[in-house]
Structure 1
Amino acid sequence: MTTQPVHDPRPLFAQAVDQAEQQITAVRPDELSNSTPCADYDVRALLGHMVAVLRKIARAGAGGDARNVADVADGIADTDWANAFTQARGEVEEIWADDALLDRMITLPWATLPGRTVVDAYTHEFTVHSWDVAAATGRLGELDPVLAERALDAFAEFAPPESRSGQGPFGPVVQVSDDADVYTRLAAYVGRRP
């Protein structure tokens, strides 16, 4: 009898976070007030949200209450976003290096899920937010299409249009042409207006 290898979502998560980090590093201080496709955030607030998400992942992985972490990190100097992101990422990688976390139930502000599912979900969130930053700063050509394909497949499974209430992070699907690039289709699927 052959057993299937167990899926480790951390390498793909690292790719998505690498991409996010590249986008954050490229942001200039004069771009921080640009609006983003993520309606609640300008670039500064979106970067603060991305740092906060890493802090939530670390807190939840360490067994703490991620609800106590603000949705947007503040108090970060305009020239220090990349450093803040890298520091938060290091904490996530240290905590989530423990293989046992992948099979443990992890409590997040919005659900309690197996660790593997948590890592997958945040992989796709970082993929979308990388597009948000790239769209707001004119760097769309720098994104990895493989990450978008994986995110689009995942969102179709766990955030189908018929299950959306309009109260969460996903708006109604926006119609785009069938030949649109994968990031445009991903953005439209999660309710952005590319």
Structure 2
Amino acid sequence: MKKISELLDAAAGGALPVIRGIDDSRLGGPTPCAEYDVRALVGHLTQVVVNFTALASRQDVEFGAAPDAVTGDWRERFGEQTAVLVEAWARPGAEDGTAGSMGFPARTVGHMVLGDLTVHVWDLARATGQEFVPDPDVLDELAPAMAAMAPKAREAKMFGEPFPVPEGASPFARVLALTGRDPDWQPPRG
């Protein structure tokens, strides 16, 4: 079993090219995550990275409205923040016990941020016309973890109802569908 920090490092490595590839002209565009446009989703994902860094250190966090993260050199800052996230989860004991006030097992909390760093990066890639393929090790860990989280995530309105996918759908398409996303989503034309 790989450490959460190793998986987060791989996920961050896949996320950075997508974040760096977001053109400013696309910031107001829609995403597969209907409540967010590109700018707001970058802000949400940045807030997730910062908050889950704190949770790895057993600090309490506030998940209120995300501040505008798309200021200054936000693309490079995101890279720095994900590096700090990986470092926090690599510390001895980060995967032990429970994390923060959430009361969830720390490894489950690690799976949550791993899911966001994978699924929301796909959202951003799709919204901005980029390719994104998750790391195979990340996907191997994420698929069963997301399936286990799905019922409670739906109750909390964090996942939508499962999207129907065909029998031969890829493992990543199944993960996306589990969260309520259409794996074939494309931004509207024109």
CA distance in 2, matches of 1:100, 1:30: 43
Matches within 5 A, 1:42-53: 42-53=37-48
1:159 to 150, 153, 162: 150
- Tell me the amino acid that sits aligned with residue 68 of structure 2: D
**Structure 2 unaligned spans of 5+:** 184-190
Paired-residue identity, %? 30
From the CA coordinates, give the structure whose radius of gyration is larger.
1
* TM-score, length basis structure 2: 0.83
1:16–1:124 CA contact under 8 A, matched in 2? no
Shift of 1:117: 2.4
1:174–1:193 CA contact under 8 A, matched in 2? yes
Query: Any idea what the Cα deviations from partners look like across 1:95-144, whole Å, max 9, x if unmatched?
Result: 33321222142115xx212322222221122111111111111223x312
**Structure 1 unaligned spans of 5+:** 1-5
Q: Aligned residue for 1:3?
A: none
Measured at CA, do residues 158 and 55 of structure 1 come closer, stay the same or move farther in structure 2, by a change above 3 Å? same
Higher relative contact order (CA 8 A, sep 6+): 2
Query: Any idea what the Cα deviations from partners look like across 1:53-96, whole Å, max 9, x if unmatched?
Result: 111012223332212x545231532x622122122223323433
Matches within 5 A, 1:39-188: 39-67=34-62, 70-74=64-68, 76-77=70-71, 80-108=73-101, 111-140=102-131, 142-144=132-134, 146=136, 147-160=138-151, 164-165=154-155, 167-188=156-177
Shift of 1:189: 1.3
Q: CA RMSD in A?
A: 2.4
